[in-house]
Amino acid sequence: LLEGGIINPLPVIPSGFTTYSQASRFRVDSLTHTQTEHEDFSSQISIDRANITLRLPRCDLTVGRQAISLGTTYFWNPNDLFTSFSPYDFDRDYKAGVDGAKADIALGDFSGISFIYVAGKKFRFNESALLIRAFTNILDFDLAMMAGRFREDGFVGADFSGEVGPGIGLRGELSYFAAESDDDFFQVVIGSEYRFKNNFYITAEYYYNGFGTSHTHRYLSKLYSTRIMEGDLYNISRHYLGIMGSYEVTPLLVVSLATIINLNDQSVLIDPTL
């Protein structure tokens, strides 16, 4: 199976400004072409999918530029290490691809092991990632654990998702980074959701960010840290709460309202969508 694609993921932007995507650090070469370059704006085109998949009886091997998704939670995904979505990005139909190889080995109907290699620029080892992920299903809950090396950090993660009652979902993620360049830290997300019979849906998540700080006077130093600047993390405070409600008016029209609350300084982001 061969997959390819050319998209224009970079918007037309004012001259003198740039947009940074985490995907650029997990690509051997950007494969980006500048279409137009003017004093007032620029436009680029990028190859975002280019991979081949070998399907064997109990193993799928995919090599090339591909999207790799590892998270189960909604607002925050500590275990989704590659081109993860920002908690403020509620349009998640398309995920950027990274360069690497992924082998999915089936051990049963709902169990397996994945070996994942994602290359950094020019295959530099300290900018690449190597992970192993095991997953299964117990009592109708999807469970997974993974470990490996992410750039210069050791990494361990776990996640779960399932239903605890009719229409009531429960999910969570835990990640721990054994960092070389700064302090070790861990992150926890726990969330739940409920879908009503009248097409109304509500979900909520709590996020503990061990990298963040509870002191507002330290926000600036966190904001300019490497992890934030390079897109590995998106939040600089310690405790957050995310809530979203949506209503399906028709199959093609969904009205939603999302709110993210910083529990440390009580700041709030409200995002209505139609």
* pLDDT tens digits along 202-224: 999 999 999 999 999 999 999 99
Three-state secondary-structure class, residue 22: helix
67 contacts 22 by C-beta, under 8 angstroms: no
pLDDT at 78: 95
Give helix then strand counts, H and E, for the chain.
Answer: 2, 16
Name residue, tokens 């995310």.
242
Distance CA 227, CA 219 (A): 13
CA dihedral 247, 67, 94, 81 (to 10 degrees): 60
If you average pLDDT over every residue of the chain, what do you get? 88
- Domain containing 138 equals 2-273
Both tokens of 56, joined, read: 């064997």
How far apart CA 3 and CA 24 sit, in angstroms, is 20
**What's the pLDDT tens digit per position in 58-70?**
999 999 999 999 9
Cβ partners under 8 Å of residue 131, min gap 6: 81, 114, 115, 116, 117, 146, 147, 148, 149, 150, 155
**Residue that is written with structure tokens 């709590």 in the block:** 206
DSSP secondary structure, 121-140, as one string:
GGG-GGG-EEEEEEEEEETT
Read off the amino acid at residue 175. Answer: S
Given a contact cutoff of 8 angstroms between Cβ atoms, the answer to whether 205 and 75 are in contact is yes
**Length, in residues, of the chain:** 274
Number of domains making up the chain:
1
Which has more confidence, 145 or 232?
145
Q: How far apart are CA 164 and CA 209, in angstroms?
A: 26
Tell me the CATH number at 240. Answer: 2.40.160
Contact between 154 and 177 (Cβ < 8 Å)? yes
pLDDT class for 1, splitting at 50, 70, 90? low
pLDDT tens digits, 14-53: 322 223 455 578 889 888 878 787 777 778 788 888 999 9
